Amino acid sequence: MHFGYSERCLEHDTGERHPENPDRLRAIRRGLAKRHGVEYAEPDPATREEVVAVHDATYVDELEAFVADGGGSWDPDTVVSEGTWDAALTSAGLAQWAARSALAGADGRNTPFALGRPPGHHAVPDDAMGFCFFNNAAVAAQTALDKGEADRVAIFDWDVHHGNGTQDVFYERGDVLYASIHEDGLYPDTGEVEETGRDEGENTTVNLPLAAGAGNADYCHAIDAVVAPALERFDPDLVIVSAGFDAHRHDPISRMRVSSEGYALMTDQIRSVTDDVGAATAYVLEGGYGLDTLAEGVSMVHETFDGRTPVSDDEDPDEKTKTLVGELQDLLDL
């Protein structure tokens, strides 16, 4: 893969004990140093105007002023430092680079993956939350649409937490599909099955809140039975994967059971469906708070695009997953 990265993202200082800290990127870089064919790009940050395309200008002004005053705790979970403004713009710019590169033809071993922080999928139009300030995937999608590089964009979010911010941005829009597999009842306690979009966005939101303990078979079944047909029906020009790695069985803040191999299996599934529909594919880093498992997850995505064949464990999905999938298939008429 071709990775986007910038040292500016390390300047967002959340403190030594915060789970979303600069060591996340350092761990990923160390893990990738052991792999074949890793290349890096350092694109420009997003502009304020590009961020305001998905966020309220008043909120963006408030955040900039808060940073200029030295930062502090925006909320109990979301920490601001003097480097947060530049890091947040840089992280959004990395996501834009990934989308732009994919739409320009980067695929296969050159598939782009934006390694930015802070993450973005909890950032709602008018507020920061859940470690997130600017919604990186949403900014990238909107920029591609505004520049005429794509007419339809899909965002598939496999982070263990529901991307409430991404859903909110596009909930009433027909030109962006948002699909999420997440742990039921986990922060921010959004993303119910019944949330499927409104007005022009009817049936362009797809939520699969899996029960705690779901593993590889559950995720793969959800992709095969719901996410893939939803993508095929939507027929996007670009698919952005909001790639969090906190559903890993050894991540410290979730109860899911996805293995490192599971991320390779999901990558292979998404690659297959995007190939079928002829969509460009870009990856954007979201969560993942066990340093070793985060690094391993990113490396497994890279190795899958580098030619390694994932190994299935041949387990069956849980009955609760099958029931949920059937309910959503009926709801969305898939």
Q: What's the distance, CA 311 to chain centroid?
A: 23
φ, ψ at 199 (rounded to 5°): 55, -125
Minimal CA–CA distance to 333: which of 185, 158, 196, 184? 196
Q: CA 67, CA 211: separation in Å to the nearest integer? A: 38
**Which residues have a Cβ under 8 Å from the Cβ of 119 and sit 6 or more positions away?**
20, 91, 131, 132, 136, 244, 285, 286, 287
Q: CA 119, CA 166: separation in Å to the nearest integer? A: 12
Residue-level pLDDT at 314: 82
- pTM strictly above 0.85: yes
Dump pLDDT digits (tens) for 85-126: 999 999 999 999 999 999 999 999 999 999 999 999 999 999
Which tokens hold the place of 162? 């529901």
Residue-level pLDDT at 16: 87
Side-chain-side CA neighbours of residue 71 (13 Å):
16
Residues with catalytic annotation? 122
Residue-level pLDDT at 313: 82
Residue segments in the chain with a per-residue pLDDT below the cut of 70: none
Residue-level pLDDT at 99: 99
Minimal CA–CA distance to 82: which of 69, 63, 94? 69
Dump pLDDT digits (tens) for 178-232: 999 999 999 999 999 999 999 999 999 999 999 999 999 999 999 999 999 999 9
